[in-house]
Amino acid sequence: MAISAVMVKELRERTGLGMMDCKKALVEADGDMDKAIEDLRKKSSLKAAKKAGRTAANGLLGVKVAEDGTRMAMVEVNIETDFAAKNEKFIAFVSKVAQTLFDHGDMAAVSESLNAERETLVQEIGENMTIRRGQVVESAEGALSYYMHGDQRRGAIVQLTAKSDEVGRDLAMHVVAINPMVVKSEDVSADVLDKEREIYLSQAQDSGKPEEIVAKMVEGRVKKYLAEVSLLDQPFVKDGNTKVGALVKQANTDVVQFVRYEVGEGIEVEESDFAAEVAAQLAVSE
């Protein structure tokens, strides 16, 4: 059967794949559009699997907010390059992931339900993609606020005990900018504190000071560390003379929790020496 340009155009519109892939699929399917789509789906899954080993450390965050402020969802979707993260279809997919998590609240179900669409985009864009993580935060009081940085790579949700939109947004901005570890110092785990004490003790012992002085030095550094990593003890990012704890107290509220995401944090990206790779390839070809 002769494959017309119209048929190729239709298959491209229905799959989003390249012209040559679509023409080849139609030829192999003898012009059967549905069979060509089925074959392409099977092949795209195989090609997506080949790309799955490549590190996806770029990407975007997505957020979905209930109109009454009682529910928010934030997700991170990764892709290999910053350039591909600007692709309109990738941006739309991130929004869809956030909406799906908002609706269903289960990341495993989200990943499963959107996997076929993700694989199609991997084939179309040509880069590996992963739905990395997401979280839903709920507050019956509607005491939720969020802040998303302009590049959509850093964002935070803050839950208060009582609704205060202005303070909530300011705190979400503070969390994005300063990156606290916990809400209050008591939330820092014993394991983390033990490791910090061990480091400070090693540093203080090198000073040659008496044991009792060393002990005071260590505890002083631990106290300073707790103030640095605890949200309520930090100087407010918009007013360094005011502690966050004092700010929320003035607003007659308190912080229940916060969620902070930054695209790619914790992902190890293998560094490659491009010049060395080219040299190696030239050596092999000689």
pLDDT in tens, 40-94: 777 765 666 677 777 788 999 999 999 988 999 999 999 999 999 999 999 999 9
Same domain, 45 and 58: no
* Whole-number pLDDT of residue 197: 87
In a domain, 155, yes or no: no
* Whole-number pLDDT of residue 117: 95
Question: 198 or 286: whose pLDDT is higher?
Answer: 198
User: How does pLDDT run across 202-238, given as a tens digit for each residue?
Assistant: 888 777 788 888 888 889 999 999 999 999 999 999 9
Same domain, 12 and 58: no
* Whole-number pLDDT of residue 274: 47
In a domain, 73, yes or no: yes
Virtual CA dihedral for 156, 54, 277, 272, nearest 10 degrees? 20
Question: 161 or 45: whose pLDDT is higher?
Answer: 161
Q: Which of 17-26, 87-96, 151-160, 228-237 has the lowest mean pLDDT?
A: 17-26
In a domain, 168, yes or no: no
* Whole-number pLDDT of residue 280: 57
- In the predicted model, is pLDDT for residue 170 greater than 80? yes
Same domain, 45 and 64: no
Q: Which of 37-51, 59-73, 158-172, 254-268 has the lowest mean pLDDT?
A: 37-51
What percent of the chain shows pLDDT beyond 70?
A: 91
Mean pLDDT taken over the chain: 89
Same domain, 134 and 56: yes
Domain total of the chain: 3
* Whole-number pLDDT of residue 112: 93
- Kindly report the CATH number assigned to the domain that includes residue 82: 3.30.479.20
- In the predicted model, is pLDDT for residue 1 greater than 50? yes
Q: Which domain holds residue 17?
A: 5-51
- In the predicted model, is pLDDT for residue 190 greater than 80? yes
- Kindly report the CATH number assigned to the domain that includes residue 12: 1.10.8.10
